[in-house]
Every structure is written in C-alpha cells, then in structure tokens.
Homo-oligomer: A and B are copies of this chain.
Amino acid sequence: MVSGPSGVGKGTVVREVLEKSGNIRLSVSATTREKRAGEVDGLDYHFYSMEEFMQLASSDQMLEYAVYCGNYYGTPAGPIKAWLQSGLDVLLEIEVEGAKQIKEKVKDCVTVFLLPPSLDVLRKRLELRGTEGQERLNLRIRRAMEEIKEASFYNYLVVNDNIFDATADVLSIIRAEKLKTSRIGSFLGEVLKDQSCER
C-alpha cells in the first residue's frame, strides 16, 4: 500500500513501479458514485449499486470502505486475493484511513508512505499545478501535515526527491519483503527435503 499527501507524486511513482515490474497489479477501488464520462468500469473504478456495495461490505468482501460526499468508496478483496493466489503482487494507492483498516485485517501487508523532501517543496509542487487558489493550497498543506503526522504507522518512508530514486526505493522494498524469512521460511524445509529424497 502506498499513501502520501496530495502533490507528493503518488500517481507518478505508482505508474513507474508498475511499468518497471511486470509482476505487479494495481488494485481498483469500488464506488457507488455515478460513472463520469470517459470512465471505464473495472479500470477507473468498479462501479456498484448501493445494494451491491453493501452486500460485499457486509459479507467481509471489502478490505476497507468509507463514505465521502454521500458515496461509498472501498477496496474489494476478491481481485486482490485472486492476483495474490496466482503469484502476482498487488499495489494499492490508498489514503491513510483505508491503509489503517487494511493493515488491521491483513497483518503481513506492507505499507509505504511517500514524503516530500520538505513541506516547502510540496507547496511549490502544488503551486506549479496552478489549479488552485492560495486558500485551498493552504488547506492542502495543513492536510498534508496531518497525514505526515500519521506516517509513523507505516512500515517504510520514501522521500520523493526525484521519481527515479523513489521508484527504485519502492521496487527495492517489494523485492526485499519477498525475501523475508517470515514469508519464505518454508523454503528451508524444501532445500533440506531435497537432499533426503536424493539419498
């Protein structure tokens, strides 16, 4: 799971990570809000009716969900389980509250928080977008500060100083996590069994 404040470059890092590794799939959120023009079901979101959504949520098939502006948003467990079972890794771009909910349920998931080199750099990046007034920008910075205060709950901190290093950082984390004895310790038995079959 990758989180980080608005403007930190989550989308770009996630896209680069997916491109550099053929073995990772991006989780697609579910929502009850109306499909907008140009959006594709299953690609931008899984679009569900309120009934469908609640049925999945109540049968524990949503890893997390929340209401925002009267619409439900959530992470369906089904596709993630299927990908993991077929040996793929799954990446989630997710906000802090969702990440916390999932970490509660899926203990061995890995959480990465993307940080700006400084709040000043974050402000400059948001200003460069040029789409927002000063007030809304200050609001975003304050929200970023709140999120960064929560970041100590994450397993890893990656500073997005430049996209090349940040992408390599995330790829290293994924590679290293897969080598943890806590995940692949059973391989030890296989190596030893190997021998006893042979002679």
Contact = CB atoms under 8 A, between A and B. Distances in A.
A152 B190 CA distance: 13
A186 to B, nearest CB: 10
A52 interface: no
A192 interface: yes
The dominant DSSP class at the A interface is helix
Interface in A151-176: 151-152, 154-159, 168-169, 171-173, 175-176
A85 interface: no
Contacts of A154: 181
A169 B175 contact: yes
Interface string A66-78: 0000000000000
Contacts of A117: 191
Counting every copy of the chain, the complex holds 2
A108 interface: no
A6 to B, nearest CB: 15
Given A115-B187, A176-B173, A181 B156 contact: yes
23 contacts: A113-B181, A115-B187, A115-B191, A116-B191, A117-B191, A119-B191, A119-B198, A120-B194, A148-B191, A148-B192, A149-B192, A151-B181, A154-B181, A155-B180, A156-B179, A157-B179, A157-B184, A157-B187, A158-B179, A168-B175, A171-B172, A172-B172, A173-B176
Interface of A: 113, 115-120, 141, 145, 148-149, 151-152, 154-159, 168-169, 171-173, 175-177, 179-181, 184-185, 187-188, 191-192, 194-195, 198
